[in-house]
Structure 1
């Protein structure tokens, strides 16, 4: 017995190491002017607005009764979440697309390749509703987080800078969300001027929670490369994981009457949350 999902278009996709995405649609729409539509979803909590869209041409059907569309590397997409639709004919109603197979193998070791500015990443994923979507990042510079370790009341973070190079005067800034407070940490830079690490004192991070009305505070982490270069957010998105927050979870570290825990935000950026236990 067929279901509504059986009648919906399905799109498989392959991403290469440079970020080129090939979408394959089955069944192949009959109209030669059918298009694939990418629509930028408003951020959570934001009101509906005029939708930002991109239209991709579909090539002719191949031997497997599939039509393909290509999102080239040169076509930069604003950062966010893009929903995919089939537009089966000119001026036709768009149809939401279900996912087929996703080949993301080329993205797995993406953090090992140096990126120039602007730093762009694209990761296809399946939404909670079971539809195909594309998560994109686009930044002037980015610090890709690596290993995070704890010891002797400190937290040490390793990272690699993309889209910029470390120069004399480079520093890490941890900014207290919702306030003007910031902590600085020394950058230990490697000879390639990209790899770095820094260490933050957990007691310093925990201190604001003691007087916060909510008993909680959050620190966002940035690298200032030095010179006139703008700060680069520390995060992790140069691989095949679209949503890291609930996948890569760090332990809570007791510090006095607080618990300190680094975590990845909904945008895969690195932050540190501190909460009072009493």
Structure 2
């Protein structure tokens, strides 16, 4: 998203975000809401003190750059989970003075679903960078042809939860990400969304290579699912042709995303 830079907004409480904190802002802008532990991991290469990170996040919230989405309080024992942060209007304005914004590529819809997508894609970028690889976000991919994320198909439109690519030493691979929280049926006799319908849409997308014509990609596309229970993953496996390497899935059986569970997601999915 192109942004015409203007005079910087008035900073509250004389708090000026540092270079490390602008990296936090950019990570939230790119992926969506992030918990304090994921933000700490994102900049652990330059700042290793966890307590200092937590204090600075609190300061940035009090200064009006960050906010705590209220939806994170809607689960049991919410006080035992790390805080989840999102940018405020002021936070986005400050970030826009340093880079083009990507927020039009953030997950939309139900907050908890979007937060899970944000956490998974954020964890994959952190792990990719640590492995010496280049993470290419959806905004850069969509800019190739100036298109939206939704891909027209016969009988509807397929909108991945997230899209990204990785640059490897020998080339590129693109990935579509889907997070399944078990809120939709496996099969449905109507036109409503179901796991079976999503799989069929992706199979058409891959078979006809529509991702190449729509996004302008030259690389192959792989589709990765994250499920929250093993039974759902097994149902997914039964919908696929045996040995279809274009699809991969993991199970993340937690009520909230945690770094301890997602830090290895990229390796398990075959991305790293």
TM-score (norm 2): 0.27
Q: Which has the higher contact order (CA 8 A, sep 6+)?
A: 2
Greater C-alpha radius of gyration: 1
Instruction: Indicate the structure with greater strand content.
Output: 1
